[in-house]
Amino acid sequence: MNSTTAHAADAGTWRLGDMEVNRLGFGAMRLTGNGMKGNSDGPPIDRDLAVRVLRRAVELGVNHIDTAAFYFSPLRSANELINSALAPYPDDLLLSTKVGPVRGPSGDWLTAATPEQLRGQVEENLRQLGRDHLDLVNLRRMNQNSIAEHFGALAELRDAGLIRHLGVSAVTPEHLAEARAIAPVVCVQNSYGLDLRLSEDNGLIDTCGEQGIAFVPYFAIAGQEREGSANERHHAEVLAVAREYGVTPAQVRLAWTLHRGPHVLAIPGTRSPDHLAENVAACSLRLSPSEVDRLQQIRQLP
């Protein structure tokens, strides 16, 4: 792998609604410096560095950026950074966002939005991003047993022209079926990685593939560390494969995720230009069937 010639298209493409995107995207959560943990996760990233990372991602072929109005810290807003760095937006750039959770001004988690509040969340994303419509809005489920009423509210906003495409996040196969009975679903965003396999065990990934729906995992690199830093604990098999190819364990994790199926995308986030280049370079890492099988056996970290 050569990071100097790497391009996000090296992992192939997938059609999200009416837009073709490279399967390696970028998640903007970490650009706020505090992820989704309020003030507890360290100092915010330098603003100029965040802007450079975003622009470099696009230069490297990233044309799918995941964000949300609730990605903010006291000094940084992911949407504002994206707007400053990339507007006017390239025609082939898809911005996906999420609605559902409610945070207070200090970053504290308050509650789940009501269906009636979702329009305000959509409009806030529009304002922050400087758009007259949103390419893709994912409904982030917040422990509701049913998402029908919330997804129905978003379907109405889609019909009104504020949203082009809809997705769901943190869902089960039953929630996906519930949403598809209301309106088309183009993607599912769930946590998934070598040590986060619920969406595999319940058949959701395969269901998405059968229905032509993109499966977009988050925490593919961070794993069980979730909103924290990228996982620094690695199974012996991950380390062995990394040594074989002369790459990092994070690159092996990302390549394994992309090998899961042509409909599986990835949206790793980073605040480091070097890590960004490594993530893009992982697109050209071709694991052998035996290596995929070896990694498939991993169920949890040591």
Q: Which residues are catalytic?
A: 71
Task: Measure the CA–CA gap between 275 and 265, rounded to whole angstroms.
Answer: 18
Handedness of CA 14, 222, 195, 69 (dihedral sign): negative
**Helix H segments across the chain?**
47-59, 78-86, 118-129, 148-159, 173-180, 198-201, 204-210, 236-245, 249-258, 273-281, 289-296
Task: Measure the CA–CA gap between 278 and 70, rounded to whole angstroms.
Answer: 27
Please report, to the nearest 10 degrees, the dihedral formed by the alpha carbons of residues 61, 89, 188, 146 taken in order: 170
Please report, to the nearest 10 degrees, the dihedral formed by the alpha carbons of residues 150, 155, 158, 159 taken in order: -140
Give the chain's length. 302
Pairing, β 109-112 against β 101-103? antiparallel
Q: What angle do CA 50, 55, 57 make, to 5 degrees?
A: 95
* Neighbour-count burial for 164-173, b at 16+ CB within 10 Å, e otherwise: bbbbbbbbbb
